[in-house]
Structure 1
Amino acid sequence: MSSHDIFLGETIGTAMLILLGGGVVAAVTLKRSKAQNAGWLAITFGWGFAVLTGAYTAGGVSGAHLNPAVTIGLAIEGGTKWSDVPLYLGSQMLGAMIGAALVWVTYYGQFHAHLTDQAVLEAHQHNGEEGLVDPKAAPKAGPVLGIFSTGPEIRNPVQNLLTEIIATVVLVLAILTQGLNDNGNGIGVLGALITALVVVGIGLSLGGPTGYAINPARDLGPRIVHALLPLPNKGGSDWSYAWIPVVGPLIGGALAGLIYKLF
């Protein structure tokens, strides 16, 4: 496949992945969303469908890696040329940032209501005027970083890193053993469905500790967008944690490629 195919397929496919994946988290999280509080099952299945849509969109163009960990695993396994790896990774990062920005555009009103209503409530409480605002009408919102990127429930760098490594090994091994197309350089038609189901399974089984990034572009690109967007009262972007959902999946993807190649 040409460099043009790789760039277009990975950019558009990853943007689709993040738009739908980040979109389901926004739908569950933000005030005045019809899906608010739909829960973890909605998020895990939403991310699975996001993978399915992104993979089918890009599969016939670029092989639908959509994930630097998958690209690294395929390069070690031999299905992807190392010379193509930088283009894959750059396109995935660009697509992830575009998808995250589109989530903000789609939920613009909900972001505004979620963040500004909470600011009004906190200001009244700070001034001892709790009675002027009904807490039920303006429930505690919290930061919105989780819509864009992942974070740990218990902040333990070693455990968090190992969790991301283990979950990514599961994902990339499943792709290498069951998900590849006939050329071996990307995800096939049946492989896209298998991969989507594996992502749902990872979310349900292994997603509790860290939110299962399992994809460096999926986490880092939207985290950058969160830092840049003009969102009031949005909270910090948690850069002290940001290396874990990048390094962990890259190690996991490399390990999966080595395991497949050796055994």
Structure 2
Amino acid sequence: MDFSLTTRLAAEFFGTAIMIILGNGSVANVELKGTKGTHSGWMTISVGYGFAVMIPALMFGSVSGNHINPAFTIGLAFAGAFPWSEVLPYIGVQLLGALVGQFIVYLCFKPHYDMTDDNDCVLGTFSTADASGSKANGFINEFFGTLTLVFGALAITHSPVFGHGNQGAGFIGIGLLVMVIVTSFGGPTGPALNPARDLAPRFLFQILPSHRTNRNAHWDYAWIPVVAPILAGICGALLYKVVFGL
């Protein structure tokens, strides 16, 4: 079934918002003081983000393609698999969805944000940072993590295994892919793998009222989870197209 652009944009908005609610909600549950999941560990975040991508894919994958990621949208456009005329509308609603989703996380965890004085722990529930203090390592990590995501997602969705009415299994496969990428690549940066997932929540972190006087959104790092995933999305989509076709 073909859907109108308006319907597809709505799917991208809701899909991105749900991804942030479930994904950054799992981060908040681990990182903030006083929650029942405090210090429950990285696997909680990995599973949370895997399902955070899987659930919107199952809901909206057949409607909009469930990009929910500007790097994926731009990569597909460069590979000739998505119209350039729809790139900016898709990215716009992805950013808006990420902003709304993060605000919902903030509202749900507001008492625990008030308890938590560690700036990096709070920022980690919004956006990403380089754990080693190396922007070069952060860029490399985000690039190869996103390259794996885009190339892997295209391979899964174009696999004959998931054709013939079995598309939902492919969406589950993408969720598992995200889960293992967060598990494997997560230590150095977070990771973002998605400009909307990082940039919109970082902006919200900057403007929300807070009792902390040492707030630092690390804007000097913010370009990395935007530029590296976009370049990786382009490379991943083109690589798949050259080798396997689209």
Q: Which runs of 5+ in 2 are unaligned?
A: none
Check conservation: 1:68, 1:250, Cα contact below 8 A.
yes
Maintained 8 Å contact 1:72/1:257: no
Report the counterpart of residue 238 of structure 1 in structure 2.
218
Cα 1:151–1:165, aligned 2, differ >3 Å: closer, same or farther?
same
Shift in Å at residue 143 of structure 1? 4.5
Following the alignment from structure 1 to structure 2, what is the Cα–Cα distance between the partners of residues 218 and 173?
A: 19
Measured on the aligned residues, the alpha-carbon RMSD in Å equals: 1.9
Deviations 1:50-85 (A, max 9, x none): 111122232232111000111122222332111111
> What's 1:249 paired with?
229
Match of 2:149 in 1: 171
Equivalent position of 1:159 in the other structure? 137
Q: Secondary structure at the match of 2:116?
A: helix
Q: Residues 91-130 of structure 1 correspond to what in structure 2 (within 5 A)?
A: 91-115=93-117
1:223-252 C-alpha deviation (Å, 9 max, x unpaired):
011111112217211100000000000000
TM-score with structure 1 setting the length = 0.84
Which residue, 17, 20, 34 being the options, matches 1:18? 20
Please report the TM-score for the alignment, with normalisation by the length of structure 2. Answer: 0.90
Contact 2:119 / 2:216 at 8 angstroms: preserved in 1? no
Dislocated runs of 4+, deviation >3 Å: 140-143
For residue 98 of structure 1, give the secondary structure of its aligned residue in structure 2: helix
- Give how far 1:181 is off: 9.7
Is 2:204 the counterpart of 1:202? no
Please say if residues 130 and 137 of structure 2, whose CA atoms lie closer than 8 Å, have aligned partners that are also in contact.
no
**Cα distance change on mapping 1:27 and 1:76 into 2, 3 Å:** same
Question: Is the contact made by 2:17 and 2:101 (CA closer than 8 Å) also made in structure 1?
Answer: yes
Structure-2 change in CA distance of 1:98 and 1:141 (3 Å): closer
Q: Hey, what does 1:192 align to over in structure 2?
A: 171
The one-letter code of the counterpart of 2:132 is I
Equivalent pairs counted in the alignment come to: 235
**Among the aligned pairs, what percent are the same residue?**
40
Cα distance in structure 2, aligned partners of 1:180 and 1:236: 42
The answer as to whether partners of 2:31 and 2:121 remain within 8 angstroms in 1 is no
- Which has more radius of gyration? 1
State how far apart, in whole Å, the 2-side matches of 1:141 and 1:94 are: 24
Partner Cα distance (2:120, 2:182) in 1: 22
Cα deviations by residue, 1:11-42 (Å, 9 ceiling, x for unpaired): 11000000111100110111110000001111
Deviation digits for residues 148-193 of structure 1 (CA, Å, limit 9, x no counterpart): 00111112222211111111110000111112599x9xxx422221
The aligned residue for residue 4 of structure 1 is: 6
Confirm or deny: 8 A CA contact 1:220 1:246 kept in the other structure. yes
Per-residue CA deviations over 1:83-132 (Å, capped at 9, x if unaligned) read 111111111000000000000011111112224xxxxxxxxxxxxxxxxx
